[in-house]
Amino acid sequence: MAASIALRLEFGGGAELLFDGVREHQVTLPSQSEPWDMKQLLVWIKGNLLKERPELFVQGETVRPGILVLINEADWELMGALTYQLQDQDNVVFISTLHGG
Min. distance of Cβ 1 from another protein in angstroms?
A: 25
In whole angstroms, what is the distance from residue 25 CA to residue 85 CA? 19
Distance CA 20, CA 17 (A): 6
17 vs 27 by CB, closer to another protein: 17
Site residue total, another protein (CB under 8 A): 25
Pick from 101, 88, 98: which is nearest to 28 by CA? 88
* The binder of another protein chosen from 14, 25, 37, 54 (CB under 8 A): 14
Binding of another protein by 60 (CB under 8 A): no
